[in-house]
Amino acid sequence: MALDEVSSIDEMNQDQLRGKILESLREQGFEIRGDALVPPDPTDKEGIRQLHAEAVRHRIAKAKPSLKRHEDRLLGFIAAGSEVVPNSICPRLVLVQSGSEAELLFRYVCLHWSIPVSAGYGRRLRFLVFDDSNGKLIGLFGLGDPVFSLGPRDQWIGWGSSQKKERLQSVMDLFVLGAVPPYSQLLCGKLIALLATSREVQQAFRQKYHGKRSLISGKALDGRLALLTTISALGRSSLYNRLTYRGELVFRSVGFTRGSGEFQFSNGLYEDLRRLAVEHCQATAKHVRWGNGFRNRRELLRKVLPLIGLSRELVYHGVQREIFVAPLASNAAAFLRGESHRLTSYDRTADDLFAWFKERWLLPRAARDDAYRGFDPETYRLWRLS
C-alpha cells in the first residue's frame, strides 16, 4: 500500500497509536535512534528480561479468564523443595494431547517464562516431564515447524533450496524448553534438553507424522526426525553450551539471529496494529492452501507501521539470540543434503540420558547447593486468591 493512502486513516487515531507505540518501546527499555531500536547491553540478561516483561504481563492477563480457575489444581503439580529427593528422581515423558489436563498445565507453566512463549507453528509435539517419585512436574518442551530460512542452520547443514524443500520436514524447532522450580535449581533444564533428543521423542514424531500429507506440497511426510534447532531466550545460552552426552556435544552453537521479531509489540498494541492492517493493507505473502491473510506477524508489521508514520525497521529489536542445532543422527547433515537416504539415528534412550545427567550434573549440584529445599510452590502462583 502506498504511503499516500495514509490519509484514509483517521488522523487522530493514527497519532494516538503512534504515540502509544513509542511510549511503550521506551518503557520496555529501548532507545530509539532515528528509525532504529537500540536494546540494552546484550550481556545484561536482566535488562533483556525487562524488555520482554510488558509482553509477558500482557499474556498473563490475557490467559487469566481461562486459567485462573484451574490454578489451585495446577499448582498441585509443582513440587515443594522438601518433596524432591535428588537420588530418587525418576523422569517420565508425557505427550500432551489437545484438550487434556496436560495441555492446561503446559499452557500455565509457559506463562512463567521470561519471554513470551509462542504456541508453535504447523506440526507440533508438546511434552511434559514428570518425576515419578512424587508425581510432580520437572519441566516441559515443545517442538514446532522450523522457519524456512535460518542462515546459520542452513550453512551448518550445507543444503541448497531444492534439498531444503525436500528435507526440511525432518527438522523441528524447540520453541520452548525448560525446567520448573525447584527442579530448575538442580540444573534440570539440561535434563529436559537432553530428553528432547531421545529415541522416545523421535518415535513419537514418527508415529504422529509418518505418512501424513504435507499441507502445501500434498506429499506424504517421511516421519524421520534428523535435527532439532533452538534459539536461546536471553542472548548467549548457559543451558545448551557445553551440554554433552558421554563426552559428545549434543547442541552445537552455529551463530546468532539478526535480532528481528515482534515481541516489542506483543503487549496489546499488536491487536491494534492487526486491525489497522486488515482494513488498510494487502497481504501479499500468502498461499492458497494456507487461506487468506498475512503469512506471519513480521509481514503484517512491516506493512502497517509506515501507515502510522513509523519505520518498518522497528521490527528489528536488536536482541541477538544464539542459534543451536542438535543432530539426532551421525549423518544428520548428509541426510538433510540428500546425500544419504538412510538415517543413522543415535540410540539415546530417555533412561540412558537421565543416567548420564544424574551423575554428571544432578547429584554434584545437590551435594554442593541445597537451596532448592526451601522452594514454596505458592511463590509460583500467578494470580492472587480472591
Per-residue pLDDT of the chain (386 residues; tens, 9 = 90+): 444 444 445 665 778 888 888 888 887 778 888 777 777 666 666 666 666 677 788 889 999 999 999 999 999 999 999 999 999 999 999 999 999 999 999 999 999 998 777 765 689 999 999 999 999 999 999 999 998 989 999 999 999 999 999 999 999 999 999 999 999 999 999 999 999 999 999 999 999 999 887 766 667 889 999 999 998 866 667 789 889 999 999 999 999 877 666 777 776 677 888 888 888 887 775 554 545 567 677 788 888 888 888 888 888 776 778 899 999 999 999 999 999 999 999 999 999 999 999 999 999 999 999 999 999 999 999 998 75
Answer whether residue 124 is part of any domain: yes
Q: Quick one: pLDDT at residue 292? A: 55
Residue 133: inside a domain, yes or no? yes
Residue 28 within a domain: no
Tally of domains in the chain: 1
Residue 369: domain span: 65-259+328-380
308 assigned to some structural domain = no
In a domain, 253, yes or no: yes
What one-character DSSP code corresponds to residue 331?
T
Q: In whole angstroms, how large is the CA radius of gyration of the chain?
A: 22
- The alpha carbon torsion through 300, 303, 309, 311 (nearest 10 deg) reads 90
Predicted local confidence at residue 43, as pLDDT: 63
- Which pLDDT score, from 0 to 100, does residue 2 have? 42
Q: What is the pLDDT of residue 308?
A: 87
C-alpha–C-alpha distance, residues 28 and 31, integer Å: 9
Provide the pLDDT for residue 236. Answer: 65
C-alpha–C-alpha distance, residues 244 and 169, integer Å: 26
Specify if 140 maps to a domain: yes
pLDDT attached to residue 48:
66
Question: Quick one: angle between helices 11-28 and 269-280, nearest 10?
Answer: 140
Position 362 in a domain = yes
Contacts of 367 (CB under 8 A, 6+ apart): none
CA dist., res. 178 & res. 186, Å (int) = 12
- Is 278 within the bounds of a domain? no
User: In this structure, are residues 276 and 17 in contact, taking their beta carbons and an 8 Å threshold?
Assistant: yes
- Count Cβ neighbours within 10 Å for each residue of 33-65 and write b for 16 or more, e otherwise: eeeebebbebeebebbbebbebbbebbbeebee
Q: What is the pLDDT of residue 146?
A: 93
* Residue of 175, 184, 141 lying closest to 380 (CA atoms): 184
**In 3D, which of 317, 369, 17 has the Cα closest to residue 187?**
369
What is d(CA 8, CA 18) in angstroms, rounded to the nearest whole number? 16
